[in-house]
Structures are given as structure tokens and as C-alpha cells.
Copies of this chain bind each other. A is one copy, B any other.
Amino acid sequence: MSSLRSLDENLISHIPPFRKLERVDIREILDAATPKRFSAGQAIFEEHEPAERFFLLLDGHVRVIRTTASGDQVIARHIVSGELMGIASAIGRTTYPASAVAIDDCLVLFWPTSLWKTFVEKYDGFATETYKTVGERISEANNHILELATQQVEQRVARALLRLAIQSSRITDEGMEIDFPLTRQNISEMTGTTLYTVSRLLSAWEKQGIVNSGRKKVIVTEMNKLKTLADLDPMADS
């Protein structure tokens, strides 16, 4: 609708960090933003790179990835539309702590990191809201640690799917379908296991009618049963 030179204010006016701002402020923020498209598979930023920009994902899905010295990959989180990313500057970092890769075609806005300070000082509520986001991500990370340290693979995979279904799925007549391509390998990288084990679990769950999965696709048909697996499962005699 609007040209690249003049982004529509409604694009971001409802998104938490900007929600409390006046139209004028939003106008200013948008005028300072650069929009950019990324196609599926493209890297938006890379780990260890100087954090010269911070981003807002307007459309699409992004995977946040860390890689070990030995080449193993771990998926730290998924970013969905409306979330900020690459906000290393917020926490005094000068490089990105992880890589971000577009899962499907994405539309993002970005700003130079130098503007972060301005945003925080000038726009009331921006700081508070983004630090709340940071806080939530810390909680997520800590929960992840707790899971990895104390739970079995089955529970971890169940939880990962639950989170994805809640965070980013569309409802079909079959159930909740995770709305971006997701392979067994991806799931294994989210849960610290192998693609083989994930495949076996999904096969088993498919037989029990809990999920319905295919190539790069997972539909959760029975949330409740999946929740049972995710919690202190009383270990059904399956």
C-alpha cells in the first residue's frame, strides 16, 4: 500500500514496545527505519558479527541459532512477527550472540544500533517494554536449562512442540498446524537430541493420534495428550 519511503503507521503501532507511543513518535521511528526482505534460508545476522543494527520482524518466521566449536547447532528460539531481534545493544553487547536465519520469506525493519540509546531516552515506555522482553527471554532460557537438565527426551520434545503450537500455529480442521516448515532435525536441535529419536517419537505419537506429521510439517491434533506427555507424565503403560 505505502511506498518504501513512507511506511504505514499501523504496521507497528500495536506492537508492545511502541504501543504506548504517540503517532508523531511512531512516524519518526518509521522514518528512521529501513525495510528489508529476506527470502527463506537467508541469514539476517550472524553470531559474533558486530551488532550494527537491531531489527523488528514484521512478517515471516526467524530461527535463532548457535553453533558450537565442533559444529553442532542448537536452535535457541523462534521469532514470530511483531518481535524485536538483534537487540544485543540493549544489554551492552557489541556483537550478536547468535545467528538469525529466515525460515520463510520475511519482512523486517531495521535501525542502526546507534539509535537504540535515542529510542530508550526519547520514547517513554520503549525501554520498559523491551526490558520486559529481555526478561521473558531470560526466563525462557532458564526454563530450557531446567528441562535439559532434568527431563527425558520425550518430555522435552513434547514441550517444544507444545510451545510452537501455542506460539505459532494456525488452526485447521485436523488440529493446530505449526505454521512454518519444521523438520525432524530442527526439532532435534531445539531439544538436544537426534533427528532419529524425534522421528521415532513422532511415529509413535502418530499411532496414538496425538500428532499428524509429514514432510516439514507437524500438526498437533490432541493438545491434551501432548500436555500429559510434557508434564510429570504418570507414565502410561503405552
**A binding-site residues for B, Cβ under 8 Å:** 66, 68-70, 72, 74, 76, 88, 90-93, 97-98, 128, 131-132, 134-135, 137-139, 141-142, 144-146, 148-150, 191-192, 231-232
| A150 in contact with B68 given A74-B145, A138-B141, A142-B76 (CB within 8 Å) | yes
| A145 in contact with B146 given A138-B91, A138-B138 (CB within 8 Å) | no
| A138 in contact with B97 given A150-B74, A192-B150, A231-B69 (CB within 8 Å) | yes
Copies in the assembly, this chain: 2
Complex CA gap A214/B196 in Å reads: 41
Inter-chain contacts of A128 with B (CB < 8 A): 92
Determine if A142 and B98 form an interchain contact, defined as CB atoms under 8 angstroms apart.
yes
Complex CA gap A139/B97 in Å reads: 7
A72, A91, A134: which has the most chain B beta carbons within 10 Å?
Answer: A91
Determine if A131 and B192 form an interchain contact, defined as CB atoms under 8 angstroms apart.
no
Inter-chain contacts of A90 with B (CB < 8 A): 131
Inter-chain contacts of A93 with B (CB < 8 A): 135, 139
A72, A92, A139: which has the most chain B beta carbons within 10 Å?
Answer: A92
Determine if B150 and A148 form an interchain contact, defined as CB atoms under 8 angstroms apart.
no
Complex CA gap A64/B107 in Å reads: 40
A139, A145, A192, A231: which has the most chain B beta carbons within 10 Å?
Answer: A145
Complex CA gap A172/B141 in Å reads: 36
Determine if A92 and B131 form an interchain contact, defined as CB atoms under 8 angstroms apart.
yes
What is the distance, in angstroms, from A69's C-beta to the closest C-beta of chain B? 6
What is the distance, in angstroms, from A188's C-beta to the closest C-beta of chain B? 10
| A134 in contact with B66 given A97-B139, A142-B76 (CB within 8 Å) | no
Complex CA gap A104/B110 in Å reads: 48
Determine if B91 and A148 form an interchain contact, defined as CB atoms under 8 angstroms apart.
no
Q: List 18 A-B contacts (CB under 8 A).
A: A66-B142, A66-B146, A68-B146, A68-B150, A69-B232, A74-B146, A76-B142, A76-B145, A92-B128, A97-B138, A98-B142, A137-B138, A138-B141, A141-B142, A145-B145, A148-B148, A149-B192, A150-B192
